[in-house]
C-alpha cells in the first residue's frame, strides 16, 4: 500500500483498440507499467508500437478500452468529464514534438494558458509566466511570438508552459526529435533540472537514443506491450 | 481565455479580413437592396402620403391602386357629402397628360386638379409661390424636382447648364396654355413624372373630354367619428370604395407586391446577398477553425472544457458579425447619403437594421455552428500527432 502511494502512474492490463469489426486496430495489448513519483521514465520503441497511445491514456485525454490506469491513484476513465478536465488542468503538463504553441500569442501569453484554464487572472498569470520564462532562460523573449523564436527556444517556452501550473505529471512526446543534438541536450537538461522534482514525474516518449542517458528508467515497447524495463540504455538492443 | 480567442482570430489577418468582408457584403446587400425596395414601395403611395388633410379616399370599387384611375360621375361627390359623419368631401382629378415645353418637346406629367374653392389636396410644401396663386388665370404649380429635371430645357450652349422653368413660364397642356405660378416640393412618384397642380375645373379643361372626370373624392370625418365606421357607411350608402389613408396605402402596397416583379427582383438580390455572404463568411470561418484545430486540441488537452471552447468560438463569431454588420450598414448609409439628391429611391427605416441584423446573426450562427461541431467532436489526442 505504501509502495502504491509513491506511484504516479499505475497501469494494469491496459488495452486500447481503435475502430470496430474488421477495421479494428489494437494499439495497446494489455500494458502493465508503473511510474514512480519523482522519476523520469522514457517510453521507447518502434513507430506504431503504442507509445503515444499509452501517454494519451496516462494523461487522461484518451480512455482505454479495457484494463486499469490510475494516475496518482485516480482512475481517470471513470471520472465525470468535468472532473477529468479539472484533474488534467491541475495535474498534467504537456510538451509536444511540434511545440504546439499558439502562434498568435507571445511567449509569455502562451505560458499563461494553463493558469488561465485554472482560473487565474491574466495579470497575475503573466507575471508568473515571466518568472518561469526567466527560469528557462528566456527572460528577454517574453514578448516574442513563436515565429520569432528558434526551435530550441520554442521548446523551452513549451517546457515553461508545461511546468507553470506546478503539475505532478508531465508527459512529453518526442521533445527533442525536431532539435539538433546540442539543443536537444540542453532541452533535456532543462527538463531534468527544472521540471523534474521529487514530487513530479516525467514520462517522455522518444526515439532519440542520444537522450536515453537522462532517463531513470526506460520502458521498451513493441506491438502494444511493454516488453522490458531497464535502468540503463546499454541494456537495450 | 476570451482574449486568447480574439488573438487567435485576429492573428490570421487574411482569414479575419475574409470573414469580415463576407459579412460586410452580406450586410450591405441585405440593407441596401431592401432600402431601395422600401424607397420604391413608398413612392408607389407617395401621392397618398403627400395629401395630409383628408381622412378618407373614395373611388370606384374597381380601383386597384392609386394610379389605377377609374373616373366617377361628378354627382357621386354629392352622395358622399350626404353620408352621415362626413364633415366635408372634395373632388380630385388625377390623370396623365402630355405637356408641351417651350422648346417644343413633350413630357408626360401627372396633373392634379384640386377643388376650386378650397384647394384641398394641394402639395405638401410650397418652395416658391403660394397655393392660392392657383386661382390666377391658367395657373399651375409644378413640383420642383420635375421643374429641374424632366421639364427643364436643354442648355443654350453645349456643355452648359440646363435651363430650369421659372414662375411666369408657360407650358401647353392639350392645346391649353398653362402658366407656372409656383413650385412645390413633393415626394417623388414611382415613375418620377413631374406633378402639376391646378384647379379641378381647369384640369377638366386640360384633360381630353370624357363623360366621367372625377378621379377621387377626398373626405374628412366629423370630429369623434370612427374612420372604420364611416368608410363602411360610405361603402354601403354609395356603393363606392372608401378607404382610410392607411388602408389605401395598404391597397396600393399590396398591388405592387402581387402584380409587379419588384419584390421578386429585390428578394432575389437579398437572398443572393445572404447566400453569398453566408458562403464566404461560413466557409472562411470554418476554414479558420479547421486550421486552428490543433490549437483547440492543445487547449482541450490542457483541460479547457467544450463549454469554454464553444464560448470562445461564439465570441469570435460575434465579433466578426458585429464588425461586418457595422461596416455593411455604414456603407449602406453612406450610399444613401451619396444618393440623397438623385432620382434613386432609397429609404432606410429602422426595421431594415433589424432585418439585416437578423440575417448577419443567422450567418454567424451558421458559421459558428459548423465550427463548434468540429471542435466539440475533436479528440484532444490529436495534439500528439506530428
The residue to which cell 464588425 is assigned: B323
pLDDT in tens, B219-252: 999 998 899 999 999 999 999 999 999 999 999 9
If DSSP codes are grouped into helix, strand and coil, which group holds residue A212?
Answer: helix
Residue A39 sits at the chain B interface (C-beta within 8 Å): no
pLDDT at position A192, please? 82
Res A124 pLDDT > 80: yes
If DSSP codes are grouped into helix, strand and coil, which group holds residue B185?
Answer: strand
Distance between CA A117 and CA B295 in Å, rounded? 14
Name which of B264, B317, B299, B272 is nearest B378 in CA terms: B299
Distance between CA B381 and CA B374 in Å, rounded? 15
Distance from CA of B304 to the nearest CA of A (A): 6
The residue to which cell 508568473 is assigned: A128
pLDDT in tens, B2-39: 888 888 888 878 888 888 888 888 888 888 888 888 88
Residue A116 sits at the chain B interface (C-beta within 8 Å): yes
Residue A174 sits at the chain B interface (C-beta within 8 Å): yes
Q: Which chain B residue's Cα is nearest to A57?
A: B381
- Cα torsion A191, A193, A195, A200 to 10°: value is 120
Packed helices B245-259 and B262-291: angle between N→C axes, nearest 10 degrees: 70
pLDDT at position A125, please? 92
Answer yes or no: do B380 and A61 touch at CB < 8 A: yes
Please, where are the H alpha helices in B169-303? Answer: 200-206, 227-238, 245-259, 262-291, 293-301
Answer yes or no: do A86 and B10 touch at CB < 8 A: no
pLDDT in tens, A212-222: 888 889 998 98
Answer yes or no: do B384 and A96 touch at CB < 8 A: yes
pLDDT at position B329, please? 92
The answer as to CATH 3.40.50.300 being correct for domain A2-101+151-235 is yes
Query: Which of A53, A105, A117 is nearest residue B303 as measured by Cβ atoms?
Result: A117
**Cβ contact A191:A172 at 8 Å:** yes
Answer yes or no: do B3 and A122 touch at CB < 8 A: yes
Mean pLDDT for A98-104 is 86
Mean pLDDT for B138-148 is 90
Mean pLDDT for A112-129 is 91
Distance from CA of A217 to the nearest CA of B (A): 22
Mean pLDDT for B100-104 is 83
B120: how many CB neighbours lie within 10 A of its CB? 19
Give me the residue spans of the domains in chain A: 2-101+151-235
Chain B interface mutation, best of A54, A56, A177, highest count of B Cβ atoms under 10 Å: A56
Classify the phi-psi angles of B381: left when phi > 0, otherwise alpha if psi is within -120 to 50, otherwise beta: alpha
pLDDT in tens, A142-200: 899 999 998 888 888 988 998 899 899 999 888 887 777 888 888 888 778 776 777 78
Distance from CA of B308 to the nearest CA of A (A): 9
Per DSSP, A204 falls in state E
Name which of B269, B218, B248 is nearest B88 in CA terms: B218
Name every residue in B having a CB less than 8 A away from some CB of A. Answer: 1, 3-4, 7-8, 10-12, 294-295, 298-305, 308, 379-381, 383-384, 386
Handedness of CA A181, A182, A187, A190 (dihedral sign): positive
Confidence of residue B218 (pLDDT cuts 50, 70, 90): very high
Res B258 pLDDT > 60: yes
Phi, psi of A61 (to 5 degrees): -100, 0
Res B386 pLDDT > 70: no
Distance between CA A77 and CA A95 in Å, rounded? 22
Distance (Å) of CA B92 to CA A32, A117, B80, B201, B247: 100, 76, 13, 10, 18
Distance between CA A40 and CA A36 in Å, rounded? 9
Distance between CA A129 and CA A106 in Å, rounded? 11
Please, where are the H alpha helices in chain B? Answer: 2-11, 13-44, 46-49, 75-81, 144-148, 200-206, 227-238, 245-259, 262-291, 293-301, 306-338, 350-376
**Cβ contact A227:A220 at 8 Å:** yes
Res B184 pLDDT > 90: yes
pLDDT at position B379, please? 79
Answer yes or no: do B1 and A90 touch at CB < 8 A: no
Radius of gyration of chain A (CA): 18
The residue to which cell 517556452 is assigned: A157
Length of chain A: 237
Distance from CA of A19 to the nearest CA of B (A): 14
Chain B hits for A113, Cβ within 8 Å = 4, 299, 302
Confidence of residue A114 (pLDDT cuts 50, 70, 90): very high
Distance between CA B104 and CA B123 in Å, rounded? 27
Answer yes or no: do A117 and B1 touch at CB < 8 A: yes
The residue to which cell 514534438 is assigned: A97
Per the model's pLDDT, the better-predicted residue between A61 and B270 turns out to be A61
Chain A hits for B380, Cβ within 8 Å = 61
Chain A hits for B2, Cβ within 8 Å = none
Could you tell me what percent of chain A has a pLDDT over 70? 95
Amino acid at each position: 500500500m505504501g509502495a502504491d502511494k509513491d506511484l504516479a502512474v499505475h497501469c494494469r492490463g491496459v488495452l486500447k483498440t481503435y475502430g470496430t469489426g474488421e477495421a479494428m486496430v489494437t494499439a495497446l495489448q494489455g500494458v502493465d507499467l508503473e511510474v514512480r513519483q519523482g522519476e523520469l521514465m522514457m517510453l521507447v520503441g518502434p513507430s506504431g508500437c503504442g507509445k503515444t497511445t499509452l501517454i494519451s491514456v496516462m494523461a487522461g485525454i484518451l480512455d482505454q478500452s479495457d484494463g486499469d490506469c490510475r494516475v496518482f491513484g485516480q482512475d481517470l476513465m471513470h471520472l465525470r468529464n468535468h472532473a477529468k478536465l479539472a484533474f488534467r488542468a491541475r495535474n498534467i503538463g504537456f510538451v509536444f514534438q511540434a511545440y504546439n504553441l499558439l502562434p498568435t500569442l507571445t511567449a509569455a501569453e502562451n505560458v499563461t494558458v494553463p493558469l488561465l484554464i485554472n482560473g487565474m487572472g491574466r495579470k497575475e498569470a503573466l507575471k508568473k509566466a515571466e518568472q518561469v520564462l526567466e527560469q528557462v532562460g528566456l527572460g528577454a523573449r517574453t514578448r516574442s511570438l513563436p515565429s520569432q523564436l528558434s526551435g530550441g527556444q520554442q521548446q523551452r517556452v513549451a517546457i515553461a508552459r508545461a511546468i507553470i501550473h506546478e503539475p505532478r505529471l508531465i508527459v512529453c512526446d518526442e521533445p527533442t526529435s525536431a532539435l539538433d543534438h546540442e539543443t536537444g541536450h540542453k532541452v533535456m537538461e532543462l527538463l531534468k533540472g527544472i521540471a523534474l522534482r521529487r514530487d513530479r514525474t516525467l514520462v517522455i516518449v522518444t526515439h532519440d537514443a542520444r537522450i536515453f542517458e537522462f532517463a531513470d528508467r526506460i520502458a521498451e515497447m513493441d506491438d502494444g506491450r511493454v516488453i522490458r524495463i531497464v535502468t540503463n540504455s546499454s541494456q537495450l538492443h | 481565455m476570451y482574449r486568447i480567442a480574439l488573438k487567435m482570430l485576429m492573428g490570421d489577418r487574411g482569414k479575419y479580413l475574409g470573414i469580415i468582408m463576407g459579412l460586410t457584403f452580406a450586410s450591405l446587400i441585405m440593407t441596401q437592396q431592401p432600402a431601395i425596395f422600401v424607397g420604391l414601395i413608398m413612392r408607389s403611395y407617395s401621392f397618398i402620403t403627400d395629401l395630409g388633410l383628408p381622412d378618407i379616399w373614395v373611388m370606384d370599387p374597381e380601383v386597384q391602386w392609386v394610379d389605377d384611375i377609374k373616373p366617377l360621375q361628378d354627382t357621386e361627390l354629392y352622395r358622399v357629402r350626404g353620408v352621415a359623419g362626413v364633415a366635408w368631401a372634395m373632388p380630385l382629378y388625377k390623370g396623365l397628360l402630355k405637356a408641351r415645353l417651350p422648346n417644343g418637346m413633350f413630357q408626360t406629367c401627372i396633373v392634379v386638379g384640386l377643388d376650386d374653392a378650397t384647394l384641398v389636396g394641394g402639395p405638401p410644401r410650397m418652395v416658391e409661390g403660394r397655393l392660392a396663386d392657383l386661382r390666377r388665370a391658367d395657373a399651375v404649380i409644378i413640383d420642383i424636382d420635375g421643374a429641374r429635371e424632366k421639364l427643364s430645357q436643354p442648355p443654350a450652349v453645349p456643355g452648359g447648364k440646363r435651363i430650369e422653368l421659372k414662375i411666369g413660364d408657360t407650358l401647353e397642356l392639350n392645346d391649353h396654355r398653362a402658366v407656372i405660378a409656383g413650385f412645390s416640393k413633393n415626394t417623388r412618384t414611382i415613375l418620377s413624372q413631374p406633378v402639376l397642380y391646378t384647379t379641378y375645373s381647369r384640369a377638366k379643361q386640360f384633360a381630353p373630354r370624357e363623360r366621367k372626370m372625377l378621379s377621387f373624392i377626398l373626405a374628412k370625418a366629423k370630429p369623434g367619428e370612427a374612420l372604420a365606421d364611416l368608410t363602411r357607411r360610405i361603402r354601403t350608402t354609395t356603393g363606392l370604395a372608401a378607404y382610410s389613408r392607411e388602408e389605401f396605402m395598404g391597397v396600393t402596397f399590396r398591388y405592387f407586391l402581387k402584380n409587379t416583379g419588384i419584390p421578386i427582383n429585390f428578394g432575389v438580390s437579398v437572398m443572393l446577398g445572404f447566400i453569398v455572404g453566408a458562403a464566404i463568411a461560413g466557409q472562411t470561418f470554418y476554414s479558420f477553425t479547421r486550421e486552428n484545430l490543433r490549437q483547440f486540441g492543445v487547449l482541450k488537452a490542457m483541460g479547457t472544457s467544450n463549454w469554454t471552447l464553444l464560448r470562445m468560438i461564439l465570441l469570435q463569431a460575434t465579433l466578426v458579425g458585429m464588425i461586418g454588420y457595422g461596416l455593411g450598414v455604414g456603407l449602406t448609409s453612406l450610399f444613401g447619403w451619396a444618393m440623397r439628391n438623385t432620382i434613386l429611391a432609397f429609404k432606410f427605416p429602422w426595421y431594415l437594421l433589424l432585418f439585416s441584423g437578423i440575417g448577419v446573426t443567422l450567418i454567424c450562427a451558421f458559421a459558428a455552428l459548423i465550427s463548434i461541431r468540429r471542435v466539440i467532436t475533436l479528440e484532444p489526442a490529436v495534439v500528439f500527432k506530428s
